[in-house]
A and B are shown apart, each in its own frame.
Chain A
């Protein structure tokens, strides 16, 4: 499946881009599985803490083909 990844804040600066399309050899993936996969893919530390939004929702738990995943650094207060 293909998913679009969007980066924000410090993560955008660390990775050096705003977005990327990623191919994963699965038909779906759970949020808790995707996070370590993304850390490995983008060379982030295992200790890096971030949240993800799936199609602009913070409550969705599963990613499918064509979804957009937003990588969010910790929310420290706007």
Chain B
């Protein structure tokens, strides 16, 4: 299985993600794309700041992804860091697999793992000038 992990401020294009994920044996490519939304919990959001412990995230992700041996061919992960305006990509997870079932479930599992088990934090900046770590 081939894995690409990118953590930086510049989100890849959809074409770049798809080009990496393409694989002759794969019958399914599933891509999830998270973005900064304009309203959260009733408050108007101006931007988000992502802070990532990059080395730990990469290390723990590589360990977690070892579970995907059968029928999952390629995994692409992008995690944003730094300041992101509304609409920007926050996370991209792409999986190519033999059939759709493996791609759907792997993508969801990786997303939940990243959201709840990895050192990634976000600070929300509101249009009223306040900010808050989430």
> Measuring CB to CB, which residues of chain A are less than 8 angstroms from any residue of chain B?
6, 8-10, 12, 51, 53, 56-58, 70, 72-73, 75-78
Q: Which 10 A-B pairs have the closest CB atoms?
A: A78-B120, A9-B121, A56-B55, A77-B115, A53-B56, A56-B56, A56-B59, A72-B119, A10-B133, A9-B51
Contact (Cβ within 8 A) A78 B56: no
Contact (Cβ within 8 A) A73 B60: no
CB neighbors of A among B21-78 (8 A): 50-53, 55-56, 58-60
> Measuring CB to CB, which residues of chain B are less than 8 angstroms from any residue of chain A?
50-53, 55-56, 58-60, 79, 90-91, 114-123, 133-134
Contact (Cβ within 8 A) A8 B119: yes
> Quick one: closest A residue to B58, CB to CB?
A56
A72: chain B residues at CB < 8 Å are 53, 56, 119
Give the residue of B58, B60, B79, B133 whose beta carbon is less than 8 angstroms from that of A78. Answer: B79
